[in-house]
């Protein structure tokens, strides 16, 4: 009996050691901490997980970046994210919930292991008490560099490099194709409506600016460069719109602003603009062109090339 008891004791001890070893491996793999690289515009509060299982994201400009990298995004702030024709379905599949950063009880109920927020968020201190916070300063990084930098934070550098390489090829191909339809020296004005007001955008504020001015290399009219590029956007009246329109206009429209767009088109000021007379107005979906993340850019490039081709017919 003593031999049997001793044997059982040894067996149980071995099983405990194996279990502990497995538990240790599981704990390490699921709770691995990001290297939290020192990058301008990034601030870390607490231990940022390298592979977060549930991310509450308030930095809505970067939702598409996170999804492209394979980071689990479990919340959204704007209807524009949920309704995005580009990545809205990904949020639905993840059963993402809509949250605001001041609703701390609802956020805590999600039990996130990471919260991502803009540096301007007024609720940062409250968020830090719920989970580690990854704070991002908007506009500090180039829109393409942002993908590389987020890849470093979450150990997804290879995914970032792969997309950037593919994007470079796609843009080069599009430029060659577009040269058959419009001059590479053509000037573009990027615009949309908000609350029935007219807005212009620069090269780093979404709505297609990054695609038009940076990726494809088209220029903006001098007045747009002077008045719009530095602040990023500018609200103007219909009376002066003619001063800002280049050879082409990229007009972002959605169901809420289509009426305002129709009203503009009926105005004499609009009808007398040379680009309008020439039929050089590209009406695009604001849902597709609003953001400048990798997923949105891929869709924008296809839509832009298609719109230019249709215009030529």
pLDDT tens-digit map of 211-242: 999 999 999 999 999 999 999 999 999 899 99
Higher pLDDT, 264 or 110: 110
Nearest to 146 by CA among 97, 76, 210, 196: 210
Inter-CA distances, 204 with 47, 173, 292, Å:
31, 23, 8
Q: Is the pLDDT confidence value at 25 over 80?
A: no
Domain assignment of residue 285, given as a range: 180-312
Residues 155 and 199 occupy one common structural domain: no
The tally of CA atoms less than 13 A away on the side-chain side of residue 1 is 0
74 CB-near residues (< 8 Å, 6+ apart): 54, 55, 56, 57, 94, 95, 96, 97, 110, 112
Is residue 203 located within the same domain as residue 303? yes
- Work out the average pLDDT over 48-76: 97
Number of domains in the chain: 2
Round the average pLDDT of the chain to a whole number and report it: 90
- Please, what sign has the CA dihedral across residues 104, 87, 193, 213? positive
Phi, psi of 76, rounded to the nearest 5 degrees:
-145, 160
Residues 190, 274, single domain; the answer is yes
Name all contacts of 304-307 with Cβ < 8 Å and 24+ positions apart: 304/174, 304/208, 304/211, 304/212, 304/216, 304/250, 305/174, 305/177, 305/178, 307/282, 307/283
pLDDT reading at 164 higher than 80: yes
22 within some domain: no
CATH number at residue 51: 3.40.50.1980
* Co-location of 115 and 238 in the same domain: no
Residues 151 and 99 in one domain: yes
- Asked if residue 82 and residue 139 are part of one domain, the reply reads yes
With beta carbons less than 8 A apart as the criterion, state whether 135 and 43 touch: yes
Indicate yes or no: pTM above 0.85: yes
Q: Residue 313: what pLDDT?
A: 65
Pick from 303, 265, 273, 269: nearest CA to 286: 303
Closest Cα to residue 250, out of 219, 284, 226?
A: 284
**Spatial distance between the Cα atoms of 195 and 267, rounded to a whole number of angstroms:** 18
Task: Return the pLDDT at 196.
Answer: 66
Q: Based on the domain organization, do 194 and 243 belong to the same domain?
A: yes
Query: Pick from 159, 191, 216: which residue ends a domain?
Result: 159
Give every CB contact of residue 240 below 8 A, 6+ residues apart in sequence.
Answer: none
Residue 26 in domain: no
How does residue 187 score in pLDDT terms, banded at 50, 70 and 90? very high
Assess whether 208 and 300 both reside in one domain.
Answer: yes
């Amino acid at each position: 009996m003593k031999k049997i008891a001793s044997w059982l004791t040894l067996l149980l001890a071995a099983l405990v050691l194996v279990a502990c070893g497995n538990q240790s491996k599981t704990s390490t793999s699921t709770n691995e901490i990001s290297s939290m690289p020192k990058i301008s515009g990034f601030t870390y509060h607490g231990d940022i997980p390298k592979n977060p299982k549930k991310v509450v994201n308030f930095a809505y400009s970067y939702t598409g970046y996170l999804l492209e990298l394979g980071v689990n995004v479990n919340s959204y702030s704007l209807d524009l994210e949920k309704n995005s024709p580009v990545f809205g379905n990904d949020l639905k599949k993840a059963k993402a919930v809509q949250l605001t950063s001041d609703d701390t009880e609802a956020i805590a109920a999600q039990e996130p292991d990471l919260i991502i927020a803009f540096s301007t968020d007024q609720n940062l201190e409250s968020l830090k008490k719920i989970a580690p916070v990854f704070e991002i300063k908007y506009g500090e990084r180039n829109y393409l560099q942002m993908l590389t930098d987020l890849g470093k934070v979450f150990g997804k550098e290879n995914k970032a490099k792969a997309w950037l390489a593919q994007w470079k090829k796609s843009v080069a191909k599009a430029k060659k194709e577009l040269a058959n339809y419009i001059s590479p020296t053509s000037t573009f004005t990027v615009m949309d409506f908000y609350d029935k007001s007219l807005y212009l955008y620069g090269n780093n504020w979404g709505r297609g600016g990054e695609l038009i001015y940076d990726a494809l290399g088209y220029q903006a009219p001098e007045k747009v460069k002077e008045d719009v590029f530095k602040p990023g956007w500018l609200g103007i009246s219909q009376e002066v719109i003619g001063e800002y329109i280049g050879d082409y206009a990229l007009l972002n429209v959605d169901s809420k602003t289509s009426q305002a767009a129709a009203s503009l088109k009926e105005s004499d000021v609009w009808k007398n603009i040379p680009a309008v007379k020439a039929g050089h107005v590209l009406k695009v979906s604001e849902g597709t062109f609003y953001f400048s993340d990798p997923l949105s850019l891929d869709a924008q490039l296809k839509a832009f090339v298609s719109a230019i081709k249709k215009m030529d017919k």
